[in-house]
Amino acid sequence: MGAINWLALLLTHPLEFRTLVQFYLYHEQKRDIAALKEHPTSGWDRASMRRCWEFLDMTSRSFSAVIKELEGDLARTICLFYLVLRGLDTIEDDMTIPDHVKQPILRSFHIHTVTPGWKYDGCGPNEKDRQLLVEYDTVVEEVNLLLPEYKNIIIDIALKMETGMADYAHKAATTGSIYLETVAEYDLYCHYVAGLVGEGLSRIFSASGKESPSIGNQLELSNSMGLLLQKTNIIRDYREDVDDSRFFWPREIWGRPEYGFKEMKEMYATDEDTVRRATYAQSGMVLDALRHATDALDYLRLLRNQSVFNFCAIPATMAIATLELCFMNKEMFQRNIKIRKAEAASLIMRSTNPREVGHIFREYARKIHAKAVPSDPNFIRLSVACGKIEAWCEHNYPSFVKLSSGASREQTLDPSDARTAIVIKEQKFDAELAKRRRVESLRNGIAAKDAAAGGPGPYDNKEISTKELMMYVAAAFTLILALSMAIVWLMVKYTA
């Protein structure tokens, strides 16, 4: 930002100005991949890898920073993973490539990715990531230098993704159907282009040893994380995609009879009635994306490496903030909208642990619910979706448990909350139970010690059966009767 922009921000949005200043002053860069000590893992000492890092900056402004801060060789591996999938996606998106040319390239892309010297210059001149494919041989060279476990994961995911992309591209080219008809078809498409990315990342995290092996098997949660991000981008990029004849919104959502649209491009008309109906269709898309929110939060709770957590959490919080920005926002139909830089900076600084991320999701869910209107056909279901995020936070991080702001982060209970009294009673009960167990353990220890010495101790708790008890009672009664008769006999004898 230039000096004039900073001054304008200070005058018009002073709180945002403060947030950005705090971010630039206090947010520390975790890693410098160009540093000499990082060369063995970042590959910066090789010209081919430096070019790959440049391509990462060119193709992904949002992911580039968080990828570079990953620990060890994870950063380089995921950089290459991203570039491979970006190259694949570029070919699939390019409408200037005929289907008979596109199909063999797509279906063999996993082979091209490890074929030395392979590159492609057939993309249209206006394709924004065209240069990546023109110099794709650089990516191939670096992929072949990866550890086998990383390389195999990347190739496997590329194979799965290219198959799905090729099927959809062929359907559009041969049937003339350029729309996704159902939500199920929409989910499957998003799985191919984003859910598989989540699967691949989870498997790479596990292979690196920085996350537990079980993370690589969390396919459902990994898929949900990918779908949340992809669907958010599809919602936000409505105008750009429609202008390029890419229609990713499923007709089952936007084509409902009460909305009255026959084509997606009809939604960007500016008359009041069209805007109202278009925002209802928009809310249906946001509702569909929100059903992946709690799965994404569950996934984040499983992560244990801080750099991996940041890598996953920051895009997730950006996604929920973007959904809130798009919701009931008529500007989204006219242009590409993004959250403000200060808001993004605040999210980056806050997205450091699962509790805080859960609270961020709850904040934006509340904002979405506050903007919802009862006349929207999706109103009830939106309320339920937002309520699920609220319930997730309350279940995992109850609001009556407070954390101190100091370094110790001690927990305290809110005395005004009724649940505090229940917790206190449970704590007292648990303490009393623990005390009883200690006493019992002490007694059992003494008894065991006496038994080892050769006899029962004073605290022997051996149980006596009913039959044995009756025998003892009968013996005692017989003894007392015999003694009584003996005493009577002696009294008679000596008094006679």
Residues 6 or more apart whose Cβ sits within 8 Å of residue 81: 153, 154, 157, 200, 201, 204
pLDDT at 291: 96
* Total residues found in the chain within this entry: 496
- How much is the pLDDT for 459? 45
pLDDT tens-digit readout, 254-286: 999 999 999 999 998 889 999 999 999 999 999
| Active-site annotation, residues | 189, 236, 246, 311
DSSP 330-363: GGGGTS-----HHHHHHHHHHTTSHHHHHHHHHH
Q: Tens digit of pLDDT for each residue in 71-90? A: 999 999 999 999 999 999 99
Can you say whether the dihedral through the CA atoms of 346, 351, 352, 357 is positive or negative?
A: positive
Domains of the chain, residue spans = 28-147, 177-404+411-420
Residues 6+ apart with CB under 8 A from 259: 277, 278, 280, 281
What is the pLDDT at residue 22? 59
Summarize pLDDT for 87-123 with one digit per residue, the tens: 999 998 888 899 999 999 999 999 999 999 999 999 9
Instruction: Kindly indicate the confidence band of residue 479, based on its pLDDT and cuts at 50, 70 and 90.
Output: confident
Give the H/E segment covering residue 383: helix 379-396
d(CA 59, CA 86): 8
Distance of alpha carbon 207 from alpha carbon 181, whole angstroms: 38
pLDDT in tens, 186-225: 999 999 999 999 999 999 999 999 999 999 999 999 999 9
Report d(CA 178, CA 367) in Å as an integer.
34
> What is the number of other CB atoms lying within 10 angstroms of the CB of residue 5?
10
Residue 461, pLDDT > 50, answer: no
- Residue 136 contacts by C-beta under 8 Å, 6 or more apart in sequence? 87, 112, 118, 119, 120
353-400 pLDDT, tens per residue?
999 999 999 999 999 999 999 999 999 999 999 999 999 999 999 988
Contact call for residues 404 and 390 (beta carbons, < 8 A)? no
Residues 6 or more apart whose CB falls under 8 angstroms from that of 282 comprise 235, 267, 326, 327, 328, 329, 332, 333
The structure's pTM equals 0.80
Average pLDDT estimate for 57-72: 86
What is the fold, at CATH topology level, of the domain defined by 177-404+411-420? Farnesyl Diphosphate Synthase (1.10.600)
Strand partners, 411: 403
What residues pair up with 269 in beta bridges, in sequence order? Answer: none
Average pLDDT score over residue span 430-457: 74
Q: 3-state class of 177 per DSSP? A: coil
Q: Which of 156-165, 216-225, 424-433 has the lowest mean pLDDT?
A: 424-433
The reported pLDDT for the residue numbered 76 is 96
- Cβ atoms of 280 and 330 within 8 Å: the answer is no
